[in-house]
Amino acid sequence: MSDEKLRSIDDRPADEIAKTLDEYPSDLHNDPDDMPSAAADGAALAAWRVAKSLLRLRDQINAKFPGRKKDSDGTIGDTAHCPGTSDHCPNISDGGVGVVTGMDITHDPAHGLVSGDVAEKLRLGRDPRIKYIISNSRIANFQALDGHPAFAWRPYNSQNPHEKHFHISVKPGKTGPGGYDTTTDWNI
């Protein structure tokens, strides 16, 4: 599994930046659940990291789909988009370290990774860590929303239809079966 990597808040390597922010500048994956975030208390964060559960998911995907393209992969938003309310921003404060709780995984059918299929498997698995999943102009939330039951697909009408990747966000709690740092295997 990937080791937790703390980075300076100014260190946003190209392979971690959520690529679609440039293509769709207003698409920040703002919290569709209106779930209160555990945002930093206003203090400037000096470092950030990715939620361990998302690193575990990415490791599993990389193992299952070796050689897959990662063109649309990303975790952290660039400085033009973060700070902000997106889960691509390190808004969760864990001892003064910002935690990113959103990740994009590239659609690459040539190497076996059909992003909609992986998103569907995650949705059907109803993992307690999942906050929401976006794929192919659809979004599924962990809780009932807008008259739709929990984990039901509903239309996602953003500029970015999420056809080049799928997006997954995890809940802001740190521990327990639904915690963002819980590293049990994902059902993929």
Domain boundaries of the chain, sorted by first residue: 7-170
What residue type is assigned to position 122 of the chain?
L
β partners of residue 108: 113
* pLDDT given for residue 122 in this prediction: 98
Q: How far apart are CA 38 and CA 58, in angstroms?
A: 23
**Mean pLDDT, the chain, as a whole number?**
86
Longest dimension (CA), the chain: 45
Q: What are phi and psi of 61, to 5 degrees?
A: -65, -45
| Cβ atoms within 10 Å of 7's Cβ, excluding its own | 17
Of the pLDDT bands very low, low, confident and very high (cuts 50, 70, 90), residue 43 is: low
pTM of the predicted structure, to 2 decimals: 0.85
What residue type is assigned to position 5 of the chain?
K
What residue type is assigned to position 87 of the chain?
D
- pLDDT 10s digits, 74-107: 999 888 888 889 999 999 999 999 999 999 999 9
Q: How far apart are CA 68 and CA 31, in angstroms?
A: 29
**Per-residue tokens: 32:** 């569709």
Phi-psi category of residue 142: left, alpha or beta, with phi > 0 → left and psi -120 to 50 → alpha: alpha
Contact (CB, 8 A) for 100 and 93: no
HSE at residue 57, side-chain half, CA atoms within 13 A, is 31
Contact (CB, 8 A) for 71 and 115: no
Of the pLDDT bands very low, low, confident and very high (cuts 50, 70, 90), residue 21 is: low
Contact (CB, 8 A) for 180 and 174: yes
Q: What are phi and psi of 161, to 5 degrees?
A: -75, -5
